Structures are given as C-alpha cells and as structure tokens.
Amino acid sequence: MRIPFSRRNWERQMDAELRFHLDQQIRDYMDRGLSRAEAEWRVRQEFGPIELAKDECRDQRSAELLNHIWRDLRLACRSLRKSPGFAAAVVATLALGIGANTAIFSLVYAVLLKPLPFPAPDRIFSVETLIPRQNALSSLPMRVQDYLKWRNVNTAFESIAALTPAQWNLTGNGEPERLGGALVSANFFTFLGATPQRGRTFTAEEETPGKQNVVVISDSLWRRRYGADPAVVGKTIMLNAVPRVVVGIAPPNYWSPPARCSTRR
Amino acid sequence: MSRHEPADLLQGTLDMLILKVAALEPIHGYAIVQRLQQISKDALQIRQGSLYPALYRLENRGWLKAEWKTTEGGREAKFYSLTREGRRQLEAETAGWKRLCDAISLVLETTE
C-alpha cells in the first residue's frame, strides 16, 4: 500500500474519482432520456452532500497516516529487539551524547550565561588600573585614594563602589571559624541594588575611621552559626579578635566574593 | 471512525458487499453501486456518498488495493480489487453473516 504523501495530489485524486462517479451517473440518466439539468439534479439528490463525503474520505486518510506511523514504530521496536547488541550501542551512544551535552551546557550556563544576581547586571563594570607598555603586572588593583577621587568626579556611572576581599577568624560562642568576605565602601549594597533581609546596611558615616566596626553577615552564616536568630542584629561578634557590631543580614543567595580572591590579600 | 454511530451494522454490511463485488474483478466505485443495485434487484439503496469513505477505509485496512486504469469509455478511473487479506476477510465476514442469519431465522421460526 502506497500513500500519496502530498496532500494536494491526494485531494486531486479524490476529486477525480468522485467526479468520474458523478459524470457516469449523469450520463446514465441522460441515456435513459433525462435532460442534463434533470440528470444532474437527480445525481446530486442520490449522492448526498459531496463535501460531507469528501470529509469522511479525508478522515480515512488521517487514520491511514496514523496507521503508517504506528506500523513504522512497531517495525522499529521489533528490529531493535531482534538485535539487542545494536540497540544497546544506540542507546549508549545517545545517552553519552545527551549526557555530554548537558554537562557542557551546565558549565557554559554557569560560567557564561547565568545572569548575575543583581538588577541590571549588564550595567555593572569592574574598574582596574592599567599600566601601558608593561606585559607582566600590566594591571593593578585600584588604590583607595583613586577610588575616593573618582567617586567625587564621577559622571559616567550611576555610582561607584569599592570592594576588597578579606578573611577573618570568627571566635567566641562556639568553634572558631575562618570566614571569607570583603571590605566594602558604605554604598556597596545600594550600588548592587540589594536590601538586607534584616537590619540595615552601612551608612556613609561608617566609612570614617573609628566608626568602621560594623558588619553585614551572609544569610548562610546567619542560619548556620546563629540558627537564624533575628536577635543577632545589634549583637557584637569577634572578628580577628576585634569586636564588630552586626548591623544587618544580607538577602538569601546573595553574592559574596569567592574565597579564592581572598588569598591574594 | 464514522460519524453515524447507529449505522454500525449497516456499515459493516456495506463493507462486506463491497468486498464481495470487488472479488470478481477490478471495479470502480460507480460500477460497484450499479452492480449492487442490479444484483439486489434495486432492493438495496446505497447512500452513494458513503461508498467512497468505505472504499478508502477498506483500502486503508489492506483489504482492497486501488489502481488507476482507463475505462471502456476511455476515461481514467480508480479500480479496486481484493487483496489476499481482503479475500480472507470476505470469507470470514460471509461465514459470520450466515451464522447470524441462521441464528435469527431459527429464533423467528421457533417462536412462531
């Protein structure tokens, strides 16, 4: 059985077949002495609605197509079952291919595609000092003096914030712990559009010497070490044996500087 | 498959009659209608519009095969003939029909 897969071709054949039927019947009636108009009228009466008949034929065609697909599937399954070694090889190939693709995509997504967890991440830039005509050590970290100067004359950016990775020893109230974090300018959280889930972030005044003993702790530290106790805000903790006041708790999943950075202090 | 549920028996009957007529020689749709009315002495009135869906269905099931040929009148027409499977199906349906008829007449005669 062959299927005319082209729909237009199939329709043309059906039309021709029905046309043939009607023409024959009309000619028959005319041979028996009816006028052409009478014959045509009678044939229409006897045949019934032609469009309905055509629709029913089309239904058959759809059923036939489904039938074919189903038969192909069954054939495929049968032949796979007949050669299990080949089937296993195919399945293994597919599994490896899909697995490798998934792994690579996950990596590419995490490294290249995943957006930063801040509003308007495409408008955030990192600034560094470049030394022309020097290949080794051609870029240097920013100096605080430069930062302060630039912040005052900045017109290119909405705002400029500074950050330097750091590590601390957290002591008191349980096991001592080595924590990664960063020293930041007071506007750092506003800069990234982050609001603390409890307490507050830093005020401009806390940038001045003597008022810097304030910290915002991460959500994970808050949960792990302090059991998500809201009363931690306002408490004093010991970092590198210096008392610091916890003023706020960063939002969950908030980005913190990778620990790797803090080794180059 | 059909839009007319109550016509189930009739539809099955039409299929059987088509197979029977197509078993003799390759035949086109119009001639099938003529032959059926002729043989049944016009006692069978076939709704001609339902003939073609039936033909397509039988072809779909592999009981009929179709071929375009030239008629005596010199026109192209689609001729249907029985496949080997169709022949088996016709035998099965005929046997089933005979059993049904026998059973029905038995009931009618016994209760008379």
The single residue listed with the structure tokens 């070490």 is A225
CB-CB neighbors (< 8 A) of B29 in chain A: 17, 20-21
CB contact under 8 A, A61 and B75: no
* pLDDT tens digit sequence for B48-84: 888 899 999 999 888 999 999 988 888 889 999 999 9
B77 and chain A: CB distance < 8 Å anywhere? yes
HEC letters along A158-199: CCCCCEEEEEEEEECCCCCEEEEEEEECCCHHHHCCCCCCEE
Please provide residue A214's backbone torsions phi and psi, each rounded to the nearest 5 degrees. Answer: -125, 145
| A217 vs A214: CA distance, rounded Å | 10
CB contact under 8 A, A52 and B49: yes
Of A130, A260, A256, nearest to A188 by C-alpha is A256
Token digits of residue A82: 């007949």
The single residue listed with the structure tokens 């959280």 is A189
Can you tell me whether residue B62 is helix, strand or coil?
Answer: coil
Amino acid letter for position A168? W
The single residue listed with the structure tokens 């020097």 is A134
Do A129 and A221 touch, CB atoms closer than 8 A?
A: no
| B82 vs B49: CA distance, rounded Å | 21
pLDDT band at B8 (very low <50, low <70, confident <90, very high): very low
pLDDT band at B6 (very low <50, low <70, confident <90, very high): very low
What is the interface pTM, i.e. ipTM, of the complex?
Answer: 0.80
CB-CB neighbors (< 8 A) of B77 in chain A: 17, 20
Burial class (CB in 10 A: 0-12, 13-18, 19+), A50: middle
* pLDDT tens digit sequence for A158-195: 888 888 888 899 998 788 989 888 888 888 888 888 88
Interface test mutation site (partner B, options A19, A24, A28, A66, max chain B beta carbons within 10 A): A24
pLDDT at position B92: 93
Report, in angstroms and rounded to the nearest whole number, the Rg of chain A calculated over CA atoms: 39
pTM: 0.50
Out of B1, B48, B62, the one facing A63 most closely (by C-beta) is B1
| B6 vs A16: CA distance, rounded Å | 31
Those residues with Cβ within 8 angstroms of residue B43's Cβ, 6 or more apart along the chain or in another chain? none
CB contact under 8 A, B53 and A14: no
Report, in angstroms and rounded to the nearest whole number, the Rg of chain B calculated over CA atoms: 16
Write down the mean pLDDT value for chain B.
84
Can you tell me whether residue A260 is helix, strand or coil?
Answer: helix
Which residues in chain A show pLDDT less than 50?
1, 258-265
Q: How far does A82 lie from chain B, in Å, by closest CA?
A: 26
Q: Which stretches of chain A sit within 8 Å of chain B by CB?
A: 1, 13-14, 16-18, 20-21, 23-25, 46-50, 52-53, 56-57, 59-61, 63-64, 67
Q: How far does A24 lie from chain B, in Å, by closest CA?
A: 7
Cβ contacts below 8 Å, chain A against chain B, sum to 69
| A254 vs B7: CA distance, rounded Å | 70
| B109 vs B112: CA distance, rounded Å | 5
A164 bridge partner residues: A183
